[in-house]
């Protein structure tokens, strides 16, 4: 496994981040524990979760599964850089969601209890809260840092200007502010290249791409459908129909290179500016092993240029649409 710093911090994390959203809804606790054990065996030390994960009617269950794994001891907690999130609703009453100081205070204590730990390494805002001022948010986060309940703060699904406002507000308070941004980013969805990536680079944030295979579309979906390994259903049918020509060209190119499409998609993200670690969310051990292969895959300039031809990206704004 390879390691890098999380943005401008001194924190070292693996180039892959283990996503846990499937733990509970799709992967039972025993299998989830085995996946986390093998992730450590493979050198993955960066785990991501959220206080709202666990499935409909069972929010928080994913954190509980991770907490039960930590409780087994053996250095599991000490070797893990733990990231979780706040924002999503955990109940039906007011102040049980978003980023008010009250919800942040209550949510972190509830997460710590479920996770069976006394601190969170990276506490991420799961979405921008347009109703809460940055002065309130940063004051609440400062209290948590001073209490030793969290170490770093990150964002998720922020626009570039949200990052700028957050960082300038933190700077005015003498606070470190954001250290990471978790964004929807992959070969098919490259909108963050317009402004989010430049903002992250400018402010020293590590980018943590989620859905790096675009819900499986970049994992060889056409071949798997032909072979009967994975039948297309629901929204995937429309998504594939819309992108079939690109996906076919991509899968043909992957076959030409002799690599799995999913490996190439992950390896490509590791070449992107500001990207720290894509989030891989395996349901099974087989999927975890497949993701680890990508770290060892090096893409040359010719390959990167061909991928840009198949999946055109964006230049930084405003050059992307003006002069």
**Contact status, residue 95 vs residue 102, Cβ threshold 8 Å:** yes
Of 191, 198, 180, 194, give the one whose Cα is nearest residue 214.
Answer: 191
**Which stretches within the chain are classed as H helix?**
29-41, 61-70, 101-115, 134-147, 160-173, 196-203, 221-227, 235-257, 261-269, 285-293, 301-310
The C-alpha R_g of the chain, in whole angstroms, comes to 20
Of 322, 307, 209, 285, give the one whose Cα is nearest residue 34.
Answer: 285
Label each residue of 4-21 as H, E or C: EECCCCCCEEECCEEECC
Distance separating alpha carbons of residues 240 and 188, to the nearest angstrom:
11
**Quick check: is 53 catalytic?**
yes
C-beta atoms surrounding 295 within 10 Å: 20
Distance separating alpha carbons of residues 141 and 129, to the nearest angstrom:
14
Quote the tokens at residue 29.
């606790």
Selected catalytic residue, list 3, 53, 87, 185: 53
End-to-end CA distance of the chain: 41
Distance separating alpha carbons of residues 229 and 227, to the nearest angstrom:
5
User: Angle between the 160-173 and 196-203 helix axes, to the nearest 10 degrees?
Assistant: 20
* β partners of residue 12: 5
Per DSSP, the three-state class of 125 is strand
User: Angle between the 61-70 and 29-41 helix axes, to the nearest 10 degrees?
Assistant: 60
Residues involved in catalysis:
53
């Amino acid at each position: 496994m390879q390691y890098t710093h999380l943005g401008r911090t001194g924190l070292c994390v693996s180039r892959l981040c283990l996503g846990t959203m499937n733990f509970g809804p799709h992967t039972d606790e025993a299998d989830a524990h085995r996946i986390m054990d093998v992730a450590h065996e493979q050198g993955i030390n960066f785990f991501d979760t959220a206080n709202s994960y666990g499935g409909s009617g069972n929010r928080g269950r994913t954190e509980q599964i991770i907490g039960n794994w930590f409780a087994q001891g053996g250095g599991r907690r000490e070797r893990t850089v733990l990231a979780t999130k706040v924002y999503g609703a955990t109940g039906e009453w007011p102040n049980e969601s978003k980023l008010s100081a009250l919800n942040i205070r209550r949510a972190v204590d509830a997460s710590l209890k479920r996770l069976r730990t006394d601190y969170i390494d990276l506490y991420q805002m799961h979405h921008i809260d347009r109703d809460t001022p940055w002065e309130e948010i940063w004051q609440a986060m400062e209290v948590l840092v001073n209490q030793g309940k969290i170490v770093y703060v990150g964002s998720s699904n922020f626009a570039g200007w949200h990052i700028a406002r957050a960082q300038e507000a933190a700077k005015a308070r003498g606070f470190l502010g954001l250290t990471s941004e978790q964004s929807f980013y992959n070969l098919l969805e490259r909108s963050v290249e317009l402004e989010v990536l430049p903002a992250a680079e400018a402010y020293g944030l590590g980018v943590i791409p989620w859905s790096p295979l675009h819900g499986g579309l970049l994992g060889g979906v056409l071949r798997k459908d032909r072979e009967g390994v994975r039948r297309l259903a629901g929204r995937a049918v429309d998504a594939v129909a819309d992108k079939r020509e690109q996906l076919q060209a991509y899968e043909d190119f992957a076959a030409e290179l002799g690599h799995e499409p999913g490996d190439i998609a992950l390896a490509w993200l590791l070449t992107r500016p500001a990207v720290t670690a894509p989030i891989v969310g395996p349901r099974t051990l087989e999927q975890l092993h497949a993701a680890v292969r990508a770290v060892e895959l090096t893409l040359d300039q010719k390959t990167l240029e061909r991928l840009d031809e198949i999946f055109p990206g964006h230049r930084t704004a405003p050059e992307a649409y003006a002069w």
